[in-house]
Amino acid sequence: MAKGKPGFLTPKAIANRIKAKGLQKLRWYCQMCQKQCRDENGFKCHMSSESHQRQLLLFAENPDKHIDDFSKEFQDEYLELLRRRFGTKRVNANLVYQEYIAFREHVHMNSTQWETLTEFVKYIGKEGLVVADYTEKGWFVQYIDRDPETIRRQEAVKAKEKMAASDDEKIAKFIEKQIERAKETGSAPEETVFTDLQRTDDSEKVTFNLAGAKKLDTVIKKPLPTSGDNPLAASSSGSSSSSSSGGKSQKSKDSSKGEKRKAKTALEEIMEVEELKKEKQNRKDYWLCPGIVVKVIHKRLGDKYYKKKAVVKEVKDLFSAVIKMLDSGDKLKVDQTHVETVIPGLGKTVMVVNGAYRGEEATLEAMDEKRFCCSVAIKHGPLKGRVVPGVQYEDISKLYADS
């Protein structure tokens, strides 16, 4: 009895399908027909087939066009994998190539204009598509991202870093000025010297004058005059001593007022330094937060949404969010560069989206159109009632619940 053809679920048939799915040897692959053969015998059979001969005739008509197409496809797929997988990081070119050929339907290099990977890396480096450099470990490539949005975002990050560095320099210069001013005025604390109490005359008595109930003056009085002495002289000396003590107390008052003024000025300077620190810590590159009203400023989203207002429903990551249009109710996913903040009328509630008071709800108190800034009053928390002047328009936005 003759044996039939092996079934679909037999071990041999399953093994053949597994082998067919995996990568095979490059020498047995036909790029024109996109046919992968399993062994040398199968490749010979394919070379003599009618379909392969038709593809060879098509190739012979215009071989340069086919090679250019394969080269262009290989270059685009290689660069796309480099951009998506590694971004702008510096990576070994062979590592990217190994990941690229792991895809079974990839374009083989032997069908392109480049014979080796080295020639291909030199070509894309010369064209300015990547930064190529050679080391002892081989060729390394670094993708150059020329997307306008990416370039704009990188420039914004560099500008923020430059501003942060300038703030650090300002704080350092301010501290140096304070130290120099303290040295010039001689306000450095002097060391206290303790001495023994010495009395020169045992006949003198120390008494306390409690007149006025507000001053505590220590008065050194001499013994009472005898009958032979002039009482008027004693009274006059007492009056002169009281006037001198009054003059001293007046001077002490004036000096205390001057010290209070100096202390107040120093306190204000300390508060300014703390404000700068808080501004540096809370100033971020991203500002989107749920519940605020924004305006679409990107024309690529269509005239239907251009210059229209929306409310931020959900922040997907640091730089993008899902918004809901207020007029149509449509939901869109946008980048923060596609929208801008909305400034409401005076007395309305806003959200501080960036800067020292980031995340605080406040009331819009006043606006300065010439300087493109405004003043807001914090509504909640330990800073309730504090008026913050000079807040930029892009650092606040209207709250949807207040509309």
Same domain, 115 and 47: yes
Mean pLDDT of 59-88: 85
Q: What is the pLDDT of residue 18?
A: 64
**Residues 38, 135 within the same domain:** yes
Specify whether 331 is located in the same domain as 350: no
Beta bridge partners of 321: 315, 334
Pick from 295, 326, 342: which residue ends a domain? Answer: 342
Identify which has the larger pLDDT, 323 or 51: 323
- Of 87, 118, 143, which marks where a domain is finished? 143
Question: Residues 38, 132: one domain?
Answer: yes
Verify that 370 and 306 share a domain, yes or no.
no
The answer as to whether 103 is a domain residue is: yes
Residue-range definition of the domain harbouring residue 360: 345-403
**Residues 332 and 364 grouped into a single domain:** no
Q: Are residues 36 and 127 in the same domain?
A: yes
**In this structure, what CATH number is given to the domain that contains residue 64?**
1.10.10.2030
Cβ 396 vs Cβ 352: under 8 Å: yes
142 with 136: CB under 8 angstroms? no
Q: Are both 136 and 34 inside the same structural domain? A: yes
Residue 140, pLDDT > 90, answer yes
Using the predicted structure, report yes or no on whether residue 48 has a pLDDT greater than 50: yes
- CA atoms of 291 and 314, how far apart (whole Å): 8
The mean per-residue pLDDT over the stretch 381-400 comes to 87
**pLDDT over threshold 70, residue 210:** no
pTM: 0.36
φ and ψ of 289, to 5 deg: -150, 150
Collapsed DSSP state (helix, strand, coil) of residue 49? coil
Question: What pLDDT is attached to residue 206?
Answer: 60
Decide which of 360 and 63 is more confident.
Answer: 360
Q: For residues 237 and 391, which has the higher predicted lDDT (pLDDT)?
A: 391
Q: Quick one: average pLDDT of 323-343?
A: 89
Q: Is residue 237 part of a domain?
A: no
**In this structure, is residue 261 part of a structural domain?**
no
Same domain flag for 295 and 369: no
- Within a domain: residue 200? no
Top-confidence residue, 114 or 163: 114
Which amino acid is located at 389 in the chain?
A: P
pLDDT in tens, 183-206: 777 655 555 666 766 666 555 666
Domain CATH code at residue 367: 2.30.30.30
Q: What percent of the chain has pLDDT over 70?
A: 73
Among 342, 363, 391, the domain-final residue is: 342
Q: Number of structural domains, the chain?
A: 3
Would you say 223 and 203 are in contact if contact means Cβ atoms under 8 Å apart?
yes
Nearest CA-CA partner of 292 in 246, 342, 217, 239: 342
Which residues is 135 bridged to in the sheet?
138
What is d(CA 95, CA 117) in angstroms, rounded to the nearest whole number? Answer: 11
- Residues sharing a CB contact under 8 Å with residue 81, sequence separation 6 or more, in sequence order: 96, 99, 100
Helix (H, G, I), strand (E, B) or coil at 353: coil
**Same domain as 395, residue 308:** no
Q: Are residues 128 and 41 in the same domain?
A: yes
